Amino acid sequence: MGFAHPGPQGPQRLPLTRVDPHTTDPVSTMPFDFAQVLIFMLVAIGFVLVALTLSRLVAPRVLNADKGEIYECGERPIGDAWFNFNPRFYIIALVFVVFDVEVALTFPIAVVFKAWKEQGAGLIALAELLVFLVILAAGLAYVWKKRDLEWIKTVTGGPWAAANQSQKGPARRAAWEPR
């Protein structure tokens, strides 16, 4: 009962007490509100327990070698699971996540910026947003400088370096790529 209620002068707080119709004493409604939460929690826990118990009783229990295998998208695993994973995938994924979060954090600011400007806080909000974007731009410049955004890198040393420097175009890539 402590929720906001729209009135003629805007939202108003309702009292947490009510008057008992049989007496003139105020009665607190807070225990009733907590009882609703408790009932909801008990129903949720009961639903989970009933679902787990039914699945345990109804589900088939056929053990075989296929159930003990590692699951890889419905395909049987081939080879060893421990192999060298190219770190370029990881770096590209991290760059994507950083800029995805940047959009998720910048968009709400852009939506309310006009209201902040009217309240006089627009300059502070703009400064904070620019600091945030400068930090992200510095991270992008760092990744770009390290050439981690290049999907196919050229080899600078090793047995393929001479072939890499002497050829141009697609043949250049084919000279150092493993076959």
pLDDT score for 39: 94
Write the pLDDT tens digit of every residue in 126-145.
898 899 889 988 988 988 88
Between the alpha carbon of residue 134 and those of residues 35, 60, 100, 110, 148, the distances in Å are 51, 58, 16, 16, 20
Work out the pLDDT band at 57, boundaries 50, 70, 90.
very high
Q: Is the pLDDT of residue 123 over 50?
A: yes
If you count them, how many residues does the chain have? Answer: 179
Whole-number pLDDT of residue 53: 96
Tokens of 22: 């049989």
More confident residue, 147 or 85: 147
pLDDT of res. 44: 97
Per-residue pLDDT reduced to its tens digit, 81-108 = 677 777 778 878 888 888 888 888 888 8
- Which run of H or of E encompasses 151? none
| 81 or 4, which is more confident | 81
Structure token digits, residue 161: 């370096």
Contact in structure between 77 and 70 (CB atoms under 8 Å): yes
List the structure tokens of 108: 């709400």
Could you give the percent of the chain with pLDDT greater than 90?
15
Instruction: Give the pLDDT confidence score for residue 106 in this predicted structure.
Output: 86
Name the average pLDDT for the chain: 75
Q: What is the pLDDT of residue 179?
A: 47
Q: Residue 50's pLDDT is what?
A: 97
Greater pLDDT, 162 or 74 = 74
